[in-house]
Chains A and B, each alone.
Chain A
Amino acid sequence: MSVYLHLIWSYLKIGLFGFGGGYAMLSLIENEIVKHNGLPAWGITEQTFTDIVAISQMTPGPIGINSATYIGYVVPGNAGFESVWFGLLGSLVCTLSVVLPPFLLVSYTSHFIRRHQDSAIIKGVMSGLRPVVVGLIASAALLLMNSDNFGVGGMELTVSVLLCVASFLVVRYTKLHPIAIIVGAGLVGFILYYLLNL
């Protein structure tokens, strides 16, 4: 059962330190769930992590909740608790853990924050966090630029780099919704890797 305690502890930390929105949170999730947990039983690879981000983008709701629900479901199964109910329990505890710290903070400190909104504490802390948040998002991007997601070499690597650059340009310079980009890239993948069998 220690896998549940690990999940709870990880998602409490993610909830407590998750400043700067979903993309900045990715770096925390990666560090807690994918990267450093030396526990092989967790079995969440960079690939699965990227897939969760993709699924999150295409479904409603915040990525923090989506990742907690998906990872909470998968991890107990990987640790040997193979039943829908163990997965459901994992989803539930992870989702509750990630919302508990902000829930308590909002409930008990909102009066304090309202009173001190213009004070040095809040303004100073927020101004110091802003550049860090940029770094957190950049680290998530760097960590995901690996062979898991781009392929080891040859044709797949070339296609992946082209897809990444093209998607970046579309996001940056058009108003196309991210879902459309993911669907488009999925279509390219289907044609090249399945139909043409590259």
Chain B
Amino acid sequence: MNIYLQLFFTFLKIGTFTFGGGWAMISIIEKEIVDKKQWLAREEFLDLLAIAQAVPGILAVNISVVVGDKLRGMKGSVAAACGTILPSFLIILLIAIFLTPDLIKNNEIISAIFKGIRPAVVALIIAPVLSSAKSAGITWRTVWIPAAVALLIFSGLPIISNPIIYIIIGGVVGYIVFTRRQLSAKQNDKL
């Protein structure tokens, strides 16, 4: 089979059977690409994974784009990305056509079910706050940063409630602090 079709169908399979987005997808992609298809060595894959994470956007799509790009350039990445996107696009499109917000609101049974679901969904978002704080190495000395970001966005005030601001500030401050530290480390080495 044509390599582009292979890329497309491999990622179509991955897109169809992974629930829960990027992180859940990584191990499955690794199994398909490295172990089964042997398109990439494990180290190459980890290298690509680092790139996919350094770029904004949807992690699963980013991984398919870097893998496709590595194997067959631009055309390869289009084929792989289409495969990843197509299943969720079609499934959600069908759901959107039949399960409209009006239906959820006005159908007694569906509305009762969703009344139960909504508080659980909030819990599903609270849980990764703690796990991401742990993996980001947040301590009692640095906890003010995510707390301030969350409260300022929550405030709903114009401009300062826009999350994009904090992404830009975080990136710029991180860069400055990191280069300063490297500079002072170098100077200490010289002394």
A residues near B (Cβ < 8 Å) are 13, 15-28, 31, 35-36, 43-45, 47-48, 50-51, 53-66, 69-70, 73-74, 77, 84, 87-88, 91, 95, 98-99, 101-103, 105-107, 109-110, 113-114, 117, 120-145, 148-151, 156, 159-161, 163-168, 171-172, 177-179, 181-182, 184-190, 192-194
On chain B, the residues within 8 Å of A99 by CB distance are 57-58, 61, 81, 85
Assembly CA distance A48 to B117 (angstroms):
12
Could you tell me if A62 and B120 are in contact, using CB atoms closer than 8 angstroms? no
Given A102-B61, A160-B119, A91–B20 Cβ distance below 8 Å? no
Could you tell me if A70 and B136 are in contact, using CB atoms closer than 8 angstroms? no
On chain B, the residues within 8 Å of A156 by CB distance are 115
Assembly CA distance A54 to B51 (angstroms):
29
Q: Which one of B1-9, B34-42, B174-182 is at the interface? A: B174-182
Assembly CA distance A193 to B114 (angstroms):
10
Which B residues, 78 to 111, have Cβ-Cβ distances below 8 Å to chain A? Answer: 81, 84-85, 87-89, 91-93, 95-97, 99-101, 104-105, 108-109, 111
Closest to B109 in A: A194
Most chain A beta-carbon contacts within 10 A, residue among B58, B97, B151, B175 = B58
Could you tell me if B129 and A60 are in contact, using CB atoms closer than 8 angstroms? no
Assembly CA distance A181 to B123 (angstroms):
10
Could you tell me if A103 and B81 are in contact, using CB atoms closer than 8 angstroms? yes
Could you tell me if A141 and B119 are in contact, using CB atoms closer than 8 angstroms? no
Closest to B145 in A: A131
Given A103-B65, A186-B113, A59–B19 Cβ distance below 8 Å? yes
On chain A, the residues within 8 Å of B158 by CB distance are 36
* Count of A-B contacts judged by CB separation below 8 Å: 387
Assembly CA distance A51 to B122 (angstroms):
11
Interface string of B141-171 (1 = CB under 8 A from A): 0100111111101101010011110111111
On chain A, the residues within 8 Å of B114 by CB distance are 51, 54, 186, 189
A171 touches which of B89, B124, B138 (Cβ 8 Å): B124
Assembly CA distance A137 to B149 (angstroms):
10
Could you tell me if B95 and A55 are in contact, using CB atoms closer than 8 angstroms? yes
On chain A, the residues within 8 Å of B22 by CB distance are 21-22, 62
A129 touches which of B99, B156, B171, B182 (Cβ 8 Å): B171
Closest CB in chain A relative to B58 CB, distance in Å? 4
Given A55-B99, A194-B108, A62–B115 Cβ distance below 8 Å? no
Closest to A189 in B: B116
Interface string of B19-59 (1 = CB under 8 A from A): 11111010000000000000000000001001111111111
